[in-house]
Chain A
Amino acid sequence: TQLLEQSPQFLSIQEGENLTVYCNSSSVFSSLQWYRQEPGEGPVLLVTVVTGGEVKKLKRLTFQFGDARKDSSLHITAAQTGDTGLYLCAGAASGGSNYKLTFGKGTLLTVNP
């Protein structure tokens, strides 16, 4: 069974601060995705990383895929209140054809004004 562990589970910061969220596994994934979910809604895809060592930037968000494709991080610069939400990482197994995703439990981020 592939497991993804996210840390921290909860994070409460002030607007303008920087933060990093981690996603770790002992398994290798063919790709890893990050989603953001708001209460009562489905997750919304932020990014997909595929290549070991890959770094992708989405405005103030920076995503990195580990060299061994077992872990990933999400860094937010100068957080804003609109960044508040549940951040989920999800991995697709190597060699799988159904593209079934394994999700972590998520990091609940609260950005205070």
Chain B
Amino acid sequence: DTGVSQDPRHKITKRGQNVTFRCDPISEHNRLYWYRQTLGQGPEFLTYFQNEAQLEKSRLLSDRFSAERPKGSFSTLEIQRTEQGDSAMYLCAIRQGGNYGYTFGSGTRLTVV
């Protein structure tokens, strides 16, 4: 149990379909992050929430991507009109403040065929 639950763990979708991922921190944390990791690379920052406010978005997050955190607890990441280049591990993380690092979820592995 990592403290962050992500659902689903794996998703296979056809190109052009929409997909939605969910991230549930076990306890309340005001800062929540989404990262994307492709094979052979480290995680890359996508977006960041402080409570329900989305404060920063990476240029990696095209118009097809949207993220929400409606009540400042769980978060969703939606990808519309998926492309093969969207295939990656999508990671959600929380930060406990101070000099503590992130606690990551187990990720959602997306495969676009």
Contact = CB atoms under 8 A, between A and B. Distances in A.
A98 B48 contact: yes
Contacts of B105: 42
Interface residues of A, number: 23
B27 interface: no
A45 B40 CA distance: 19
B104 A43 contact: yes
Contacts of A45: 100-103
A60 to B, nearest CB: 20
Interface string A66-107: 000000000000000000000010100000001111111110
B99 A31 contact: yes
Interface in B1-52: 2, 4, 31, 33, 35, 40-45, 48, 50
A50 interface: yes
Nearest to B93: A42
A44 B104 contact: yes
Nearest to B41: A105
B69 interface: no
A7 interface: no
Interface of A: 4, 31, 33, 35, 40-45, 48, 50, 88, 90, 98-106
